[in-house]
Amino acid sequence: MRVLLTGSNGQVGFCLKEQLTDEKAATLLALDKTQLDITNREAVNAVVNKFKPTIIINAAAYTAVDKAEDDVEQCFAINRDGPLYLAQAAQRIDASILHISTDYVFEGNKLNEYVESDSTNPQGVYGESKLAGELAVAEACHKHIILRTAWVFGENGNNFVKTMLRLGAMREKLSVVGDQFGGPTYAGDIAHALLCIAKKITQETQIKYGIYHYSGLPHVSWCEFAEVIFNNAMHQGYLSNNIELESITTDQYPTPARRPNNSRLNTSKIYKHFSITASDWKKVLNNLAAYTG
Ligand SMILES: NC(=O)C1=CN([C@@H]2O[C@H](COP(=O)(O)OP(=O)(O)OC[C@H]3O[C@@H](n4cnc5c(N)ncnc54)[C@H](OP(=O)(O)O)[C@@H]3O)[C@@H](O)[C@H]2O)C=CC1
Ligand SMILES: Cc1cn([C@H]2C[C@H](O)[C@@H](COP(=O)(O)OP(=O)(O)O[C@H]3O[C@@H](C)C(=O)[C@@H](O)[C@H]3O)O2)c(=O)[nH]c1=O
């Protein structure tokens, strides 16, 4: 397979680049933002026409959830228009596109886990732009996989794990929301899931294209997630002080963008069609070395 990877320096992009580099069956062209700006349609077309990928994996995105509220145009350019150009280019050469989306396309008021067919209703600009990106990709390219994931953390880039470790080293007490629930997901596991799908697309003809949910288990609140991070950090010697963790409500932690209270994604469909199991995020936190400093 010939894989064009965009956004190769992000959390997921970085892991994908590593895993695809090790994959003998893949010829990889991995490009970061400085090498390919996905909002530049001509640049996208030129790269695709020259490299002729069989699979495009889009790991580029605008992910600053609060900043997006005041940066609507840029957020939509990266999360809707860029994916559209990639999907149109893929369709022209009969390639497949693997695109990543988010739990924030949902309102978050469902009582149990979200399945792929549930109605969307994003609560902020980031979620709206990601939903617009999903629709654009699905309409532009027949052979599309849209992988909705959640609460991503990886070695490369900013994430909640690194934020908690940084704040934990500076403070004795932290207040974290305890009424938003979801599945933390390791970026390396998302990369692995996408690689499995890419291989299956290359090897088999009967692929069920469409939307898939992929995230981590067990589901927790952000506060419970923070508790696990701090316990691990204490045991591994990355925190010397005990953190007093207070569970607060969403209303007590006002942010420019509203987050869904329920972000729990059901991952049965991806298991059924691709035998891919949920991310085991607790196992990853057994080694926090890469998240400190
Ligand atoms: N982070 C999370 O918690 C979650 C993420 N997702 C989705 O997963 C995917 C990967 O996210 P993640 O790896 O965390 O994101 P990151 O923000 O870590 O990485 C995104 C990458 O895209 C790059 N980028 C931004 N604009 C452009 C552009 N115009 N052209 C090319 N590259 C660009 C960024 O560069 P730079 O940093 O220099 O701007 C960055 O390297 C995204 O689709 C995201 O929406 C879904 C659920 C949760
Ligand atoms: C730093 C901090 C955050 N919080 C809350 C705010 C928020 O509700 C929650 C998570 O905060 P963050 O800003 O780190 O996470 P956020 O940027 O909302 O993370 C989201 O990113 C995008 C890209 C996604 O697609 C989502 O799946 C999700 O991972 O924790 C606290 O309660 N206390 C704190 O000290």
Asked, for residue 221, whether it belongs to a domain, the answer is: no
Q: Would the pLDDT of 241 be above 90?
A: no
Query: How does DSSP classify residue 251?
Result: G
Contacting residues for 254 by C-beta, under 8 A, at least 6 apart: none
Q: Which residues have a catalytic role annotated? A: 126
Question: pTM to 2 decimals?
Answer: 0.97
- Alpha carbon 20 to chain centroid distance? 17
pLDDT for the residue numbered 48: 98
Helices (H), the chain: 11-21, 41-51, 72-76, 82-92, 125-140, 160-170, 187-203, 222-235, 268-274, 281-284
CB distance 266 to ligand 2 below 6 Å: no
Residues with CB under 6 A from ligand 1: 6-7, 9-13, 33, 37-39, 59-63, 78, 82, 100, 102, 130, 149-152, 157
**Cross-strand bridge partners of residue 210:** 145
* pLDDT reported for residue 39: 98
Is the ipTM reported for this complex over the cut 0.95? yes
Residue 90: what pLDDT? 98
Q: Is residue 15 part of a domain?
A: yes
58 C-alpha to center of ligand 1: Å?
Answer: 9
What is the whole-number distance in angstroms between the Cα of residue 177 and the centre of ligand 2?
9
The range of the structural domain enclosing residue 47 comes to 2-158+184-216+264-283
Q: Tell me which residue has its CA closest to atom 2 in ligand 2.
A: 176
Name the domain count of the chain. 1
Asked whether the predicted pLDDT for residue 44 surpasses 80, the reply is yes
CB 178 within 8 A of CB 242: no
Q: Is residue 242 part of a domain?
A: no
108-112, 124-128, 180-184, 237-241, range with the lowest pLDDT? 237-241
Domain containing 40 — which CATH number? 3.40.50.720
Q: How far is the CA of 160 from the centre of ligand 2 (A)?
A: 6
Minimum CA distance residue for ligand 2 atom 28: 151
Residue with tokens 């022209």: 92
What amino acid is encoded at 256 in this protein?
P
